[in-house]
Structure 1
Amino acid sequence: MDISTLLDQAARKWPDAPALSDPGRGRRLTFLQLDQALTAFGQALERSGVGEGERVALLADAGIDYLIADYGCMASGRVRVPLDPALSPAELLAQLRDAGVALLLFSAQYADVAAGLAGEGIRCRALEALTEAPGTQLPARVAQPAQALASLNYTGGTTGVPKAVMHRHDSLCAVLQNIVMARGAVPGDVLLNVRPLWPIAAVAVLAHLLGGGQVVLGGRFDSKAFLGQLAQWRVAYSSLVPTQLLRLLRESGTAAAQLPYFKSLDIGAAALTGEVLEGAFSLFDGRTAVLYGMTEAPWSCYLPAAQMAALRHAGESAEGVVGRPLFATAMRIHSPDANGIGEILLAGPHVMAGYWQQPGLTGEVMVSGWLRSGDLGRLRADGQLEVLGRCKDIIRSGGKSVQPGEVEQALLSHGAVREAHVFGLADVEWGEEVCAVVVLEAGQVATADALAQHCRGLLSRYKVPRKVWFIDELPRSHYGKVQKKRLLELLGPVAG
């Protein structure tokens, strides 16, 4: 199967049903109009001298034109290369050169950035010039080979050598199947998108379309407007990253919102704290779901809202629980310890083909058909996966292993602690020493000694933090992960 065929099938099933809506720009496309726009976009690439198999980079906001280009590249046999607009020009240039792009398409707000990249030899064109209304003569699109490269997704942070995940048509189709089966959306259901569409979010949006749903592009996330958008457009599904969700909770509180049409909010499992999960469950009246995956293997596990609610009604916090492997996913725990904890390995048709032009790195993470996730986890007795942190974050202190998540949970059980982040710092005697950064609840007071004493009642002595710092807010990425480099900069010489 390939992306072009799936889009063609959707247009035949629901030709006159609304597919994409962009209220901010007053635009709307039916499924047939979207399909025609994709074909016309492929023709525009042909006229621009971009051949099949060549890479087309996208530097644009989350609008209809972006999706026409994103899906149009894949449907016409080109390779999409979505870019993070937050990167510096130098970082963008490194990725563009690494991918060997034939063309960079940009929207108006990135015109200055594109001009600078053009000065470095990158061929650039305004996105809108290739997404004009299609003409009357539109040939049928041909199906693409299942093994053909469809997407390069740059990942792994903003520094160092660029690293692009390769997805072929068949792996993306397996991802789409996982999402469609997991969400259970029906034709007519509305999905509100307020997330950037790179590197893989556009694929989740596509899955909703392939189930006959309508996608409303709500622009940039606005914590003051989000609940109103859900009500106004009778939204059934939406998705937020943890940082967005935290802002929403601070703006709206946790009283249950009146959303009669809403079915579920999807939240990525990474960096989802118990406090945020608790607030989301309350605000959305139990209609929250958790997904687990990574760019290399998107949508590998899913905990639907009903199962999340069942866990919480049974008295569990559900923190770290991400559900069972989805239809196309195989999973196992590598070298589990006495508690069943080990590295999560993933396999299946949805897993990447490898890293672009980096066979050595591919060989390090792809072993005998299994993807080394780098995540620590265990399988519960009920078959659900519990994610416990990153393997590289394990602290080796005095010859023993300390899992930061376990120490963080001990700190969070103290009534004065709102957030905690535990990490290791080099130490001559111990190899690494356990350190913690704590954010206190408003109006609460605690000392490092008091928190250490609290942890001694819950943890083995070697796991108790030897150093504790107090700060007002943890520095987090867009996806909610604590940024250790920024954190150490905040702590200054005392953490050196």
Structure 2
Amino acid sequence: MDISTLLGQAASKWPAAPALHEPASGRRLTFAQLDQALTAFGQALDGLGVEPGARVALLADASVDYLIADYGCMACGRVRVPLDPALSLGELLAQWQDAGAVLLLFSPAYQALAGQLQAQGVHCHPLASLTRVAPSALPARPAQPAQALASLNYTGGTTGAPKAVMHRHASLCGVLQNIVMARAALPGDVLLNVRPLWPIAAVAVLAHLLSGGEVVLGGRFDSRQFVYSLRQYRVAYSSLVPTQLLRLLRECGSAPVELPAFKSLDIGAAALTGDVLEGSFSLFSGRIAVLYGMTEAPWSCYLPAAQMAALRADGESAEGVVGRSLFAVAVKIDRADEQGIGEILLAGPQLMAGYWQQPELTATVLCDGWLRTGDLGQVRPDGLLEVRGRCKDIIRSGGKSVQPGEVEQALASHGAVREAHVLGMPDLEWGEQVCAVVVLEPGAQVTAEGLQAHCRALLSRHKVPKHVYFLDELPRSHYGKVQRNRLMAVLATAAC
């Protein structure tokens, strides 16, 4: 199966049904109109001399034009290369060159940045000029080979050399099948998108369309507008990244809101910790679903809202629980310790083909059909997968291993602590020292010695932080991960 065929089938099933709605511009497309726009986009690329198989970079925010280009590249035999507009000029240029892209399509918001890239030799073209709906019927598009490259997705933040995950039509179809089966959306259900669509989120939006649902493109996330939009458009599904969820809770609080059409909010497992989990579960009256995956293996496990609610009704916090593997996905725990905790390995059709032009790196994470996720976890007696941290974050101190998550939980149980991040710092005698960076609740006061005493009552001696640092906030990426390089720079500045 391929992306072109799936989109064509959706247009045949629901030709007159609404597919895309962009309130900011008033633009609406039916499934038939969307399908024709994708074909017209391919013809426009033909007119620009962009050959089949060529890489086309996208520099734009979530919009109807963006999705036409994103899906149009894949449906018409080109390779989508979505770029993060927040990257610096140098980082964007490095990704462009690494991909060997032949064209960069940009929206008006990034015209100045596109001009700078063009001055560096990048072939840039306005996105909107290629995304018009065809005035008359166009012939059906041909199917694409299942093993043809469909997407390059750059990951790894803003440090180091570019690293692009390769997805073929076959693997993306595996991802789409997982999402359609897990979410179980019905034709006519509305999904509100307020997320950036790079590097892989556009695929989750596509899965909703392939269920016959309507997608409302809500523009950039506004914490004061979000709940109102859920009501206004009678939204059934939405998804937030960690930074958005935190802003929403700070703006709206956690009192339950009345949303009669709402079914669930999809949240990545990394976002649901402590107060965030409690607040979001309360705000949405239990309609919280958890997904687990990564760009290399999107949507591999899922915990539906009903199962999340059942766990919490049984007295569990459900923190770290990410549900069961989806459809053809396999999960196993490698080199488990006495508690059953080890590295999570994934297999299945949703796996990436590898890293673009990096066979050595690919070989370190893809082994005999299994993806080494770098995550620590365990399969519980009830069969649910529980994520417990990152392998590379394990601290080796004096010959003993310390899992940062365990220390973070101990710190977070102190009433004055809002957030805690635990890491290992080099030490000549011990190899690494356990250190903690803590964000306090507003107005709260506690000393480093007080937190160390609190931990000694809960943890083995070697797990108690040797140093505790206090910050106003932890430096995080858009997806909620603490950025170690930035954190170390902040701590170095604070120590001066």
TM bin (shorter chain): over 0.9
Q: Equivalences for 1:89-128 in 2 at 5 Å?
A: 89-128=89-128
What is the CA distance between 1:444 and its match in structure 2? 2.0
Asked if residue 402 in structure 1 is aligned to residue 402 in structure 2, the reply is yes
1:131 equivalent in structure 2:
131
Contact 1:376 1:388 in 2 (8 A): yes
1:237 equivalent in structure 2:
237
Q: Which amino acid aligns with 1:446?
A: V
2:80 equivalent in structure 1:
80
What is the CA distance between 1:249 and its match in structure 2? 0.3
Contact 2:345 2:373 in 1 (8 A): yes
Asked if residue 492 in structure 1 is aligned to residue 483 in structure 2, the reply is no
Secondary structure of the corresponding residue to residue 195 of structure 2: coil
> Take 1:493 and 1:430, find their aligned partners in 2: how far apart are those partners?
25
What is the CA distance between 1:107 and its match in structure 2? 0.4
Contact 2:153 2:199 in 1 (8 A): yes
1:263 equivalent in structure 2:
263
> Take 1:72 and 1:235, find their aligned partners in 2: how far apart are those partners?
26
What does the per-residue CA deviation read over 1:13-54, in whole Å, with 9 as the maximum and x for residues that have no partner? 000000000000110000000000000000000111001101
What does the per-residue CA deviation read over 1:449-473, in whole Å, with 9 as the maximum and x for residues that have no partner? 1111111111110000010012221
Asked if residue 13 in structure 1 is aligned to residue 13 in structure 2, the reply is yes
Asked if residue 37 in structure 1 is aligned to residue 37 in structure 2, the reply is yes
What is the CA distance between 1:422 and its match in structure 2? 0.4
1:248 equivalent in structure 2:
248
What does the per-residue CA deviation read over 1:333-375, in whole Å, with 9 as the maximum and x for residues that have no partner? 0000011111100110000000011101000111111110011
* Gap regions ≥5 residues in structure 1: none
> Take 1:132 and 1:62, find their aligned partners in 2: how far apart are those partners?
16
Asked if residue 361 in structure 1 is aligned to residue 366 in structure 2, the reply is no
> Take 2:271 and 2:211, find their aligned partners in 1: how far apart are those partners?
29
Q: Which amino acid aligns with 1:102?
A: V
- Please identify, of 14-23 and 452-461, the stretch whose mean Cα deviation from structure 2 is larger: 452-461
What is the CA distance between 1:271 and its match in structure 2? 4.2
> Take 2:133 and 2:271, find their aligned partners in 1: how far apart are those partners?
42
Contact 2:34 2:133 in 1 (8 A): no
2:321 equivalent in structure 1:
321
Asked if residue 153 in structure 1 is aligned to residue 157 in structure 2, the reply is no
What is the CA distance between 1:322 and its match in structure 2? 0.5
Secondary structure of the corresponding residue to residue 279 of structure 2: helix
Q: Which amino acid aligns with 2:297?
A: A
Secondary structure of the corresponding residue to residue 362 of structure 2: helix
> Take 1:84 and 1:231, find their aligned partners in 2: how far apart are those partners?
30
2:172 equivalent in structure 1:
172
Asked if residue 48 in structure 1 is aligned to residue 55 in structure 2, the reply is no
What is the CA distance between 1:122 and its match in structure 2? 1.2
Secondary structure of the corresponding residue to residue 386 of structure 1: strand
> Take 1:313 and 1:443, find their aligned partners in 2: how far apart are those partners?
32
> Take 2:109 and 2:472, find their aligned partners in 1: how far apart are those partners?
34
What is the CA distance between 1:119 and its match in structure 2? 1.4
Contact 1:265 1:288 in 2 (8 A): yes
Q: Which amino acid aligns with 1:239?
A: S
2:465 equivalent in structure 1:
465
Q: TM-score if structure 1 supplies the norm length?
A: 0.99
RMSD: 1.0
> Take 1:126 and 1:457, find their aligned partners in 2: how far apart are those partners?
61
Contact 1:40 1:135 in 2 (8 A): no
> Take 1:35 and 1:131, find their aligned partners in 2: how far apart are those partners?
11
Asked if residue 381 in structure 1 is aligned to residue 381 in structure 2, the reply is yes
2:162 equivalent in structure 1:
162
* Gap regions ≥5 residues in structure 2: none
2:474 equivalent in structure 1:
474
> Take 1:491 and 1:356, find their aligned partners in 2: how far apart are those partners?
35
Q: Which amino acid aligns with 1:147?
A: Q
- Please identify, of 3-12 and 153-162, the stretch whose mean Cα deviation from structure 2 is larger: 153-162
With over 3 angstroms needed to count, the CA separation of the structure-2 counterparts of 1:32 and 1:137, relative to structure 1, is closer
Contact 1:379 1:386 in 2 (8 A): yes
Secondary structure of the corresponding residue to residue 321 of structure 2: coil
> Take 1:438 and 1:135, find their aligned partners in 2: how far apart are those partners?
59
> Take 1:471 and 1:359, find their aligned partners in 2: how far apart are those partners?
40
What is the CA distance between 1:137 and its match in structure 2? 5.1
Secondary structure of the corresponding residue to residue 152 of structure 1: strand
> Take 1:327 and 1:482, find their aligned partners in 2: how far apart are those partners?
31
> Take 1:198 and 1:423, find their aligned partners in 2: how far apart are those partners?
29
Secondary structure of the corresponding residue to residue 322 of structure 1: strand
Q: Which amino acid aligns with 2:206?
A: L
Asked if residue 453 in structure 1 is aligned to residue 447 in structure 2, the reply is no
Structure 1 runs (4+) greater than 4 angstroms displaced: 493-496
> Take 1:284 and 1:329, find their aligned partners in 2: how far apart are those partners?
29
> Take 2:338 and 2:457, find their aligned partners in 1: how far apart are those partners?
22
Q: Equivalences for 1:207-226 in 2 at 5 Å?
A: 207-226=207-226
Secondary structure of the corresponding residue to residue 11 of structure 1: helix
2:421 equivalent in structure 1:
421
Contact 1:488 1:495 in 2 (8 A): no
Q: Which amino acid aligns with 1:395?
A: I
> Take 2:271 and 2:304, find their aligned partners in 1: how far apart are those partners?
18
> Take 2:350 and 2:314, find their aligned partners in 1: how far apart are those partners?
33
What is the CA distance between 1:494 and its match in structure 2? 6.3
What is the CA distance between 1:232 and its match in structure 2? 0.3
Contact 2:241 2:271 in 1 (8 A): no
- Please identify, of 230-239 and 323-332, the stretch whose mean Cα deviation from structure 2 is larger: 323-332
> Take 2:441 and 2:123, find their aligned partners in 1: how far apart are those partners?
51
- Please identify, of 264-273 and 9-18, the stretch whose mean Cα deviation from structure 2 is larger: 264-273
What is the CA distance between 1:298 and its match in structure 2? 0.1
Contact 2:274 2:319 in 1 (8 A): yes
1:330 equivalent in structure 2:
330
Contact 1:340 1:379 in 2 (8 A): yes
Secondary structure of the corresponding residue to residue 270 of structure 1: helix
What is the CA distance between 1:162 and its match in structure 2? 0.7
1:349 equivalent in structure 2:
349
- Please identify, of 484-493 and 335-344, the stretch whose mean Cα deviation from structure 2 is larger: 484-493
Contact 1:272 1:480 in 2 (8 A): no
1:282 equivalent in structure 2:
282
What is the CA distance between 1:493 and its match in structure 2? 5.4
What is the CA distance between 1:135 and its match in structure 2? 3.5
Q: Which amino acid aligns with 2:70?
A: D
What is the CA distance between 1:286 and its match in structure 2? 0.3
Secondary structure of the corresponding residue to residue 37 of structure 2: helix
> Take 2:246 and 2:417, find their aligned partners in 1: how far apart are those partners?
16
1:57 equivalent in structure 2:
57
